[in-house]
Amino acid sequence: MSRVVLITGCRSGFGLLTAAAAGRAGWTVYAGLRALEHGDALREATAGLDVRPIVLDVTSAEQRELAIAQIIRETGRLDALVNNAGQALGGFLELVEEDELRAIFETNLFGAWALTRLALPHLRAHTPSTVVMVSSASGRMAIPGLGAYAASKFALEGLSEAWRHELALFGVRMVLIEPGAYRTDIFGRNRQISRGVNAPGVYAPWVAGMDKVFASFVDRVARDPAEVAEVIVRVLSDPRPPLRTPIGPSTGVRAALRALIPERVTEAIIGRLLRHAREQGERLLAQKP
């Protein structure tokens, strides 16, 4: 029987593309969707492949349990898990509400942790097996305006690094994929901004300017997310994958800033970015009636 992988967050972006790439590579793929009616794009992209849509909201304990139970009932095995489901949240941290911060951690950290725990007995039964955590370049370096998202990914990185050592005892490989900017719905349909961001206040010039600077950066450097999907599928079959695989635009720069450049230099670079954003924002606000 072919190897079996569960991939979360398959409505679009990395999840959908990874499901298709894994199916083409011969995997039996269970593709998690919050609702099956959201799976039209997935079904079109995976026609003729052994890709099976499955209802899975990673924040729901009941759906996590039912998904794992269905996979084992139908195939008798689980060889890999890709924790891709995630959400971003834009907004300066003082403007982020507590329920918004908790929600992003529920998806990006607790959902991945809980689903992995459920999967581990089955992954240990078919070693070597692999768990992939889709993190972010923001999991290694935080930038202003994305602090809540970065905090959740920093936490995921720490969780995964500890699990890497613990699961190696049983032949289960834990891997972090750290994408930079890619053209996915996280910047479009799924883009989320804190409720307090657009309220008048002391951050208003930076909010207006950062949005423009960020959009310009994404338009200029964001790449095809299919390359991330191909990397994930290669990692699933790699007998000795590294703990971290950074990929895509800005990841090399961020790694260099973190590893080679003194913190004060990094702060100076970010400070210049913020000054530029404020200037942009003040001009935009002055143009409003």
The CATH classification of domain 4-201+223-249, taken from the options 3.40.50.10420, 2.70.98.10, 3.40.50.720, 3.40.50.1860? 3.40.50.720
Q: For 226-243, what is the mean pLDDT?
A: 95
pLDDT (0 to 100) of residue 215: 65
Residue predicted with more confidence, 154 or 268: 154
Tokens of 286: 């002055």
Q: Are 186 and 218 in contact (CB under 8 A)?
A: no
pTM of the model: 0.88
Is the predicted pLDDT of residue 255 greater than 70, yes or no? Answer: no
CA 212 to chain centroid: 23
Tokens of 6: 């569960």
Domain ranges of the chain: 4-201+223-249
Please count the other Cβ atoms lying within 10 Å of the Cβ belonging to residue 56: 25
Tokens of 263: 């913190």
Distance CA 275, CA 258 (A): 21
**CB-side neighbour CA atoms (13 Å) of 16:** 17
Tens of pLDDT, residues 137-157: 889 888 888 999 999 999 999
Q: Are 4 and 79 in contact (CB under 8 A)?
A: yes
Q: Are 126 and 81 in contact (CB under 8 A)?
A: no
Q: What positions carry a catalytic annotation?
A: 149
Q: Are 144 and 197 in contact (CB under 8 A)?
A: no
Tens of pLDDT, residues 80-113: 999 999 999 989 999 999 999 999 999 999 999 9
